[in-house]
Amino acid sequence: MSVFPQVRGRRLRTTPALRRLVAETRLHPADLILPVFVREGISEAQPIASMPGVVHHSLESLKPALAEAAEAGIGGVMLFGVPLDEKKDAAGSGATDPDGILNRAIRVAADEAGDALVVQSDLCLDEFTDHGHCGVLDADGVVDNDATLERYRDMAVLHAEAGSQIIAPSGMMDGQVAAIRDALDAHGHQDRAILAYAAKYASAFYGPFREAVQSSLTGDRRTYQMDNGNRREGQREVALDLEEGADIVMVKPAMSYLDVLADTAASSDVPVWAYQISGEYSMIHAAAQNGWIDLDAASLESVLGIKRAGADAILTYFAVDLAQRLTGRGDPSRSIR
């Protein structure tokens, strides 16, 4: 006598409609945030070779891109500025020029799309320094934590004045959230939120981004970004940022740190976000270009996995494409049901 299984997982997998009904995790366009690079000194959008489908925007080409993002229904944009090479210096002065490229980009985004999209800004010095580090250096060439905080305070106020609604310090300096909160409040910007890049690891997957911001970094960021194997320390960083006043905490990168993300989702009562970074994006594209994986299936699976692990929202270069597929815009054969 053979014994037939009474419990059959396959029953609920029979048809697409049934699978859709019992799906535990759903993506919504509003879960998605698009990182956007705005570059000084160009008049039209230019492709970024290391990131297929991602461009450097000019202040002009930014506008239709924002309109497209708003139309797709994504939750917001995260702005990065790429200054002219000759404007980079040791202090990252361009970051605190009210007419620096990032502050100008924030103003354009807030004016053009501030109602439809949440305008957010990455607050870091690496795009603006000639040495490429996320802070200013001391006499020994080591990133000087507390001197960097002074720079971050000034940047935060400028971002707020330009119209950024969520300010996102990504430099992994100790005390950066408290410093920025204090500076914002002292200047009447109590209403601006802080998204803490709370658990941010020193990752090889930032590679394509370094090209995207034309970083001049030599060496690495391991004296401030976290060590790859440290899971518990991720929770310590999250707890510290919450004590310092973070409104939202983020784990970055996402795909190699899903355990840290799940821990953070379990331990935090604020929104928890994750950043699918440049290398995580580009490696999917590269494999797809080689015909090894299917781009649409893999991009969806990767972002769904990040949400399943506990992210309430995801920063991803796939944001607009996924949102369009989720809402049936564009090519119907690519739509996500």
Residue 307 appears among annotated catalytic residues: no
Q: How far is CA 230 from CA 260, 262, 309, in A?
A: 9, 14, 18
List the catalytic residue out of 63, 87, 88, 200: 200
- Nearest residue to ligand PBG, using CB? 209
Q: Which of 112/122 has CB closer to ligand PBG?
A: 122
Gap between the Cα atoms of 6 and 198, Å rounded: 46
At 272, the amino acid letter reads V
Q: How far is CA 288 from CA 88, 97, 296, in A?
A: 36, 41, 9
Q: Does 122 sit near ligand PBG (CB under 6 A)?
A: yes
Which of 268, 269, 266, 283 shows the shortest CA–CA distance to 317? 283
Which positions from 257 to 296 touch ligand PBG by CB under 6 A, shown as an x/- string?
Answer: --------------------xx------------------
Q: What radius of gyration do the chain's Cα atoms show? A: 20
In the complex, least distance from residue 2 CB atom to ligand PBG, rounded to whole angstroms: 54
Q: Does 124 sit near ligand PBG (CB under 6 A)?
A: yes
The most distant pair of C-alpha atoms in the chain lies apart, rounded to whole Å, by: 81
In the complex, least distance from residue 118 CB atom to ligand PBG, rounded to whole angstroms: 17
Among 121, 170, 176, 302, binds ligand PBG (CB under 6 A): 170
In the complex, least distance from residue 113 CB atom to ligand PBG, rounded to whole angstroms: 21
Gap between the Cα atoms of 196 and 191, Å rounded: 16
- DSSP code, position 58: P
> Tokens 């940047």 identify what position?
155
Candidate segments 13-21, 59-67, 119-127, 296-304, binder of ligand PBG by CB under 6 A: 119-127
- Identify whether 271 is preceded by a cis peptide bond (ω within 30 of 0): no
Among 126, 237, 263, 296, binds ligand PBG (CB under 6 A): 126
In the complex, least distance from residue 183 CB atom to ligand PBG, rounded to whole angstroms: 18
In the complex, least distance from residue 230 CB atom to ligand PBG, rounded to whole angstroms: 16
Q: Which of 208/310 has CB closer to ligand PBG?
A: 208
Residue 252 appears among annotated catalytic residues: yes
Gap between the Cα atoms of 178 and 174, Å rounded: 9
Q: Does 40 sit near ligand PBG (CB under 6 A)?
A: no
Using CB under 6 A as the binding criterion, the count of chain residues that bind ligand PBG stands at 10
* Contact predicate 24/306, CB 8 Å: no
Give the E-state strand segments of 260-328 in sequence order: 272-275, 313-315
Q: Which of 141/330 has CB closer to ligand PBG?
A: 141
Gap between the Cα atoms of 77 and 35, Å rounded: 6
Q: Which of 177/277 has CB closer to ligand PBG?
A: 277
In the complex, least distance from residue 56 CB atom to ligand PBG, rounded to whole angstroms: 14
In the complex, least distance from residue 218 CB atom to ligand PBG, rounded to whole angstroms: 13
What is the DSSP track for 104-136? HHHHHHHHHHTTTSEEEEEE-STTTBSS--SS-
List the catalytic residue out of 63, 87, 88, 252: 252
Which positions from 184 to 223 touch ligand PBG by CB under 6 A, shown as an x/- string?
Answer: ----------------------x--x-----------x--
- DSSP code, position 4: P
- Three-class SS state of 17: helix
Binding site for ligand PBG (CB under 6 A): 122, 124, 126, 134, 170, 206, 209, 221, 277-278
Residues acting as catalytic residues = 200, 252
